[in-house]
């Protein structure tokens, strides 16, 4: 199959559509998936499959979830080395994070469906956040929580074109949209949102809600805790490990958030 043009997150392709009245060749759009190499202080750290766009945010947010970066001051610079579908980003990390990066260097690439694949040690998965989320006493009304999936969906421009991208949205406690990012990987979308915040010096993200378009997995709870986000909400199901980690880390975990109704699996006191 030959394609047409590729622009950012969306690629044009020719498809053969089969229907009751026959077969026709039509133009279609699909989500782009391509590798991004993340370097720390000039050395290869990880390769992740992602949707091109907001690559600096992705790299910064990824390093927050890894425990390499905990504040904007840890990130001296982050720059594009190669700007292409298969791109390279180099982050200049100062302080103790540089040593953490050496200790936690990944040995294989990360797929767009896996946020913790390839770690050199399984012990590294249980990274301890620099922020104590249990102390965050933010309150969010049930009305706001129930409205977030629709607010996120309205902001998914690339999904409208392809139907093939996940999204993560950062919201204030009153439901105000702070940032939204899309990607073929759930965890990449979250990293892009967190990276946008760390590059603006906004960590920890106390008093915020992270709404995601898919299920609530272990790695998404971990990323929320690492960024100091007290509430994580998902439109689909949580895993048992996600619930356990949310309880342990102090994250309010909301799932099955659809049509104004939802379940709360941990720390329900924040939902009023």
Q: What percentage of the chain carries pLDDT values higher than 70?
A: 85
Which position among 114, 151, 161, 172 bears the catalytic label?
114
List Cα–Cα distances, 268 to 140, 224, 252, 258, in angstroms.
10, 16, 6, 18
How is domain 133-270 classified at the architecture level of CATH? Answer: 3-Layer(aba) Sandwich (3.40)
152 contacts 169 by C-beta, under 8 angstroms: yes
Q: Write the DSSP string, 171-229.
A: EETTS-EEEEEEESSHHHHHHHHHHHHHHTT--S-TTEEEEESS-B-HHHHHHHHHTT-
The CATH code of domain 34-126 reads 3.10.20.10
- pLDDT one-digit tens code per residue, 143-200: 999 999 999 988 776 565 556 688 999 999 999 999 999 998 889 999 999 999 999 9
168 contacts 192 by C-beta, under 8 angstroms: yes
What is d(CA 15, CA 19) in angstroms, rounded to the nearest whole number?
13
What is d(CA 229, CA 227) in angstroms, rounded to the nearest whole number?
6
Position 228 pLDDT exceeds 90: yes
Residue 163 burial (10 A CB sphere; 0-12, 13-18, 19+): exposed
Q: For the chain, which residues make up each domain, given as ranges?
A: 34-126, 133-270
- pLDDT one-digit tens code per residue, 100-123: 777 766 544 565 556 555 554 334
Tell how strand 22-31 and strand 34-40 pair up. Answer: unpaired
The question of whether 117 is a catalytic residue gets the answer no
99 versus 257: which is more confidently predicted? 257
């Amino acid at each position: 199959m030959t394609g047409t043009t590729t622009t950012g997150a969306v690629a044009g392709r020719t498809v053969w559509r089969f229907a009751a009245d026959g077969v026709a060749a039509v133009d279609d759009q699909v989500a782009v998936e391509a590798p991004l190499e993340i370097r720390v202080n000039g050395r290869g750290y990880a390769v992740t499959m992602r949707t091109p766009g907001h690559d600096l945010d992705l790299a910064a947010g990824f390093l927050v979830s890894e425990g390499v970066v905990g504040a904007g001051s840890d990130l001296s610079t982050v720059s594009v080395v190669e700007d292409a579908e298969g791109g390279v980003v180099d982050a200049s990390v100062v302080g103790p994070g540089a040593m953490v990066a050496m200790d936690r260097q990944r040995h294989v690439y990360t797929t767009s469906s896996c946020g913790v694949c390839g770690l050199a040690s399984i012990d590294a998965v249980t990274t301890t956040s620099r922020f104590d989320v249990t102390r965050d006493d933010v309150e969010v009304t049930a009305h706001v929580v129930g409205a977030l999936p629709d607010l996120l969906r309205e902001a998914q421009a690339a999904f409208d074109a392809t139907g093939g991208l996940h999204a993560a949205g950062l919201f204030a406690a009153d439901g105000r949209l702070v940032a939204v990012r899309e990607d073929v990987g759930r965890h990449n979308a979250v990293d892009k949102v967190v990276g946008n915040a760390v590059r603006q010096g906004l960590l920890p993200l106390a008093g915020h809600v992270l709404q995601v378009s898919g299920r609530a997995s272990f790695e998404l709870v971990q990323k929320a805790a690492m960024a100091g986000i007290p509430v994580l909400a998902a439109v689909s199901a949580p895993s048992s490990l996600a619930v356990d980690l949310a309880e342990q880390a102090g994250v309010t975990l909301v799932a099955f958030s659809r049509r104004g109704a939802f379940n709360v699996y941990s720390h329900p006191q924040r939902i009023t």
